[in-house]
A and B are shown apart, each in its own frame.
Chain A
Amino acid sequence: MRTIGMVLWVAVCAVTWGQESPARWLQRALQAERTLSVAGMHVNTFQIRGRLEQIRERFWRRGDSEIRIEVAEPKSRQGEVFLYREGQWVRWRSGEPIASEVPQMPYMASELLQVVVEWLRRGWLEVTALPDESVAGRACVVVSLKPNRPVPPRSPMRPPNRPPQGRPEGPPARFPVHARLWIERETGLVLKREFTVRPGQTWIRSEVVRIDFAPRLDEALFRLPPGVTVRQLSEQGFRTVKEAQQVAGFPLRLPTYLPPGTWRERILVRRRPPHESPLVAIRYSCPQGHFTLFQTYQPKSRFKPPKHLQQTCLNAHFWEDDGSWFGIVGDLPKEEMEKIARSLSRDR
């Protein structure tokens, strides 16, 4: 009897050892992302309002400290190179003498895993293991992640190792409604990831299609060619309203009311053709979600509020004031968004 018991115990141990918990796999993935030097190709596919986009990229990386990405497709973007080192992304085109800083992404892969591991520990995410799948010819464990409902007050989403960059300590951005990670069994590297922001509408998937676990990484790969100078962040994102104001070409208005715990994530000035007024987008994050304020100069245009927005579960409000068109789009309750909108009005 004792022998049978021993055999059973050993069997149980062997099975549990062979089937690590999803949380353990995430820990392994985090370690792999931080340390492995790899090269290969991945494909990013994303859908926004029914439109599907794809970017195919070659990559070389030394853990999460040095990364080089070259856009291979679409053809119009061939020659674009993104370099990451010392906490800053830089973009340039092959053959051009000037590179420009790129705004920091919310999460590097390792930072995202670190946040996920922390949230799991606190019980804010629900994790399940799905049947194994193969990615780029490698066996992968598939981990599914969903935020618990109702979402509790959460710790800062800011990756723990990154300086605040103006973002106050506060509640995090919203986690996607569903995330799946394909973690390679042998090395723990995440070979595929999929985030669903709005089911059936908005999602992004990144899949490795070719990988080399023992690449020869020349130092020059992670450096700008001699003679290329770096221009400070300005091309697409702006750190301050003042900077954006200079490019916008019309007076920007800011809300005097913001929900408690709101912080400004970024400012974009989306250039239209040169003879047209640009669209300015100021993105905010708060405990209830994200919202974006829009403004453009529309002289001599008739404004009639839109009746309905197609295929969206977002709240939105649009209005006109003194030749400018405004808009607010986001996940916040309608009343809250209208309150923010009113605070932008000159006649409040």
Chain B
Amino acid sequence: MNCKQVEQKVWEYLDLTESERALLEAHLGRCDSCQAVWALAQCTLMALQHLPRYTASEACKARLRQRLQQAKPAPTRPRFQLRWKPLALAPALGLLLAWFWFKGSGMNSGETAQITSSYTSVEEYAQACVELHESLDVADWAPTPAVHYWVNMSNTR
């Protein structure tokens, strides 16, 4: 998988097959720029997941239905005057669809959530932190950058 393919696939992560995911992750493991793309995707998802979720009240829904029923069909206009509207609406619609898609995937917990918890327990997290701190202590006295590299990258690739 190359960078261009990763850029396309990064947003389709949930729909990928196991082998495609493995290829994607392998590429992410060795490509900084794609890691940045992935991080950006994570940021976006997290920001979306943090947005408050609003539900329309029953009264509001009723008013909306009433207004839709009362609405008259718009007078037909020459086609050339309407051309700019689809152009302006397309990105907005895309964003809206993306919003619903991400919201949907974010609301399903576990397997389908894009950003999942890294640690199953606080104990596991605490042990990982202590180990990393001690690894850094050791790396300070290492005679080779290979140890630094091990400390920074191990357990991740």
Contact = CB atoms under 8 A, between A and B. Distances in A.
B146 interface: yes
What's the dominant secondary structure at chain B's contact region?
A: helix
A45 B135 CA distance: 13
Contact of A292 (B30, B133, B146): B133
A229 B109 CA distance: 42
Given A277-B117, A306-B122, A310-B127, A249 B43 contact: yes
Nearest to B125: A325
A343 interface: no
B146 A71 contact: yes
B156 interface: yes
A152 B50 CA distance: 50
B143 interface: yes
Interface in B117-147: 117-119, 122-123, 125-147
A231 interface: yes
Contacts of B38: 274
B25 A294 contact: no
Most buried by B among A91, A301, A309: A301
Contacts of B126: 306, 309, 316, 318, 327
Interface in A109-157: 109, 112
Contacts of B117: 276-277, 298-301
B145 A105 contact: yes
B144 A82 contact: yes
Interface in B1-44: 13, 24-25, 28, 30, 32, 35-36, 38-40, 42-43
B148 interface: yes
Contacts of B133: 281, 283, 290-292, 314, 329-330
Contact of A283 (B136, B138, B147, B156): B136
A305 B122 contact: yes
Q: How large is the interface on B (under 10, 10 to 19, 20 to 34, 35 or more residues)?
A: 35 or more
Contact of A272 (B35, B118, B152): B118
Contact of A80 (B119, B132, B146): B146
Interface of B: 13, 24-25, 28, 30, 32, 35-36, 38-40, 42-43, 46, 49, 109, 113-119, 122-123, 125-150, 152-153, 155-157
30 contacts: A42-B143, A44-B144, A48-B138, A49-B130, A55-B144, A57-B146, A77-B146, A80-B149, A82-B149, A91-B149, A112-B141, A173-B140, A176-B141, A195-B141, A198-B134, A236-B152, A249-B39, A249-B43, A268-B152, A274-B38, A275-B13, A275-B114, A275-B115, A276-B117, A277-B117, A292-B133, A298-B118, A301-B119, A306-B123, A327-B126
